[in-house]
Amino acid sequence: MTITPTDLAQAVDVAAAQASKPLELAVVLPTYNERKNLATMIDRLDKALKGVSWEAIFVDDNSPDGTSDEARSLSLRDPRVRCIQRIGRRGLASAAIEGMCSTAAPVVAVMDADHQHDPELLPLMLKAITSGEYDLAYASRFAEGASTEAWGRPDRVKASGFANRIANKVTGVDLTDPMSGFFMLQTKTLRADAHRLSGVGFKILLDILATVDTPLRVKEFPLNFAARAEGESKLDRTVVFEFLVGLYDKWLGRFIPTRFALFGTVGGLGAVLHMTVLALVLHLFGADFAMSHYPKEAAFITGQTIAAIVAMTFNFVLNNELTYADKRLRGFGPLVRGWAQFALTCAFGMIANIGASTALVRIGFHDYAAAIIGIVLASVWNFALSNKFVWGK
């Protein structure tokens, strides 16, 4: 890009204005494929935050549409714009946490970059925080006076409402919209507990509420949840599931990594499906096989093969939709590649499982104990490898 003298003059003006007043507010904007929304977002922040010394931090997960490049080129014209480009990582919550930890501003806000959140609320939130009256200000899609018409998806509105009620039970704080992605707090409040936040998924506000030891005094602002300006949502269909993640985190998180617990749950469902398919094949075709030369074994091998493929595919789809919803593989190519990698991983897992359990039986372990150890080994193997290779990028 080329920087014109006007751009330069403008950059100098902004820098001078900023230098005359210490930084007051950082606005963290996690982005994934939001290139077309950035420039207009900075314009809106500039208008909404007149008289405030602010910076905007885009935390971009190396979006293929070149969001980071766009953020950097905006930054050359306006030094209040910053960009963190994360390589090899995905996830709204962890992006928000990194953005919030990266600023020197005493107050920090998180909001979506797609224009669904109204920046006009920022000065009101800032007043609530700097007055010392509140520890947390946030925008609610369900507060009195809020509207969510732009969603055009009544099912999602309902799902969120239901989800929120459970979330409130979990955190013990009564908010109308604990899943909101638009909030503000003192940076030091966040920093004190940042190391205890899970960073999985997108329930960052919920995470903060559930993690801090002293209850926060919360100010709620009704939000008119606008339609997305450009691009598409990355978070649809995962709202209800975020609770399962939240519950796991809260109850098991200290003992078992949440992602592994989810992976294990999916694996358990897969095992049930495997047995069902096997029983079905034996039941339906067992009699036909009985007529052939190798009756019992042939039926069993056929049943096992079909069951394994069905269960493995089911596990792949469920893990992709849920366990790795924040890094979901999309499109025909990536899905087929992911499926093949997952199949390969599971095949090796199976060999490890059978090999290890057989060895254990030989040295005197009870059959079932050996089988269980084999299953645990294979699960850890499957998780470690697919976590790195299937959903690692």
Contacting residue, 27, 34, 82, 324, with ligand GDD by CB under 6 A: 34
Closest approach, Cβ 346 to Mn ion, in A, equals: 35
Stretch of 3-11, 49-57, 127-135, 231-239 lying at the interface with ligand GDD (CB under 6 A): 231-239
Q: Is there a contact between 377 and 353 (Cβ–Cβ < 8 Å)?
A: yes
Comparison of 281 and 322: residue with beta carbon closer to ligand GDD: 322
Contacting residue, 38, 137, 209, 239, with ligand GDD by CB under 6 A: 239
The single-letter DSSP state of residue 58 is E
- Residue 333, SS3 per DSSP: helix
Closest approach, Cβ 226 to Mn ion, in A, equals: 9
The reply to whether 116 sits near Mn ion by the rule CB under 5 A is yes
Q: 38-48 and 67-77 helices cross at what angle (nearest 10)? A: 40
CB atoms under 10 Å from CB of 17, counted, come to: 11
The reply to whether 326 sits near ligand GDD by the rule CB under 6 A is yes
Contacting residue, 119, 178, 181, 374, with ligand GDD by CB under 6 A: 181
The reply to whether 91 sits near ligand GDD by the rule CB under 6 A is yes
Task: Please choose which of ligand GDD, Mn ion, none residue 198 contacts, taking the beta carbon within 5 to 8 angstroms, the exact cut-off set by kind.
Answer: none
Closest approach, Cβ 391 to ligand GDD, in A, equals: 12
CA separation for the pair 158, 379 (Å, rounded): 35
CA separation for the pair 315, 347 (Å, rounded): 13
Q: Is 215 exposed, middle or buried (0-12, 13-18, 19+ CB in 10 A)?
A: exposed
Q: How many helices (H) and strands (E) does the chain have?
A: 13, 7
Cα distance from N-terminal residue to C-terminal residue, the chain? 29
CA separation for the pair 149, 146 (Å, rounded): 9
Q: Is there a contact between 137 and 27 (Cβ–Cβ < 8 Å)?
A: no
The reply to whether 236 sits near ligand GDD by the rule CB under 6 A is yes
Closest approach, Cβ 326 to ligand GDD, in A, equals: 6
The reply to whether 97 sits near ligand GDD by the rule CB under 6 A is no
Stretch of 77-85, 113-121, 274-282, 360-368 lying at the interface with Mn ion (CB under 5 A): 113-121
The reply to whether 180 sits near Mn ion by the rule CB under 5 A is no
State whether the Cα torsion 58-145-176-261 is positive or negative. Answer: negative
Contacting residue, 90, 115, 259, 274, with ligand GDD by CB under 6 A: 90
User: Quick one: which of 158, 163, 170 has its CA closest to 242?
Assistant: 163
The reply to whether 114 sits near Mn ion by the rule CB under 5 A is yes
Catalog residues that contact ligand GDD under the rule CB under 6 A.
Answer: 30-32, 34, 59-61, 90-92, 95, 112-114, 116, 160, 179, 181, 202, 233-236, 239, 326
Catalog residues that contact Mn ion under the rule CB under 5 A.
Answer: 112, 114, 116
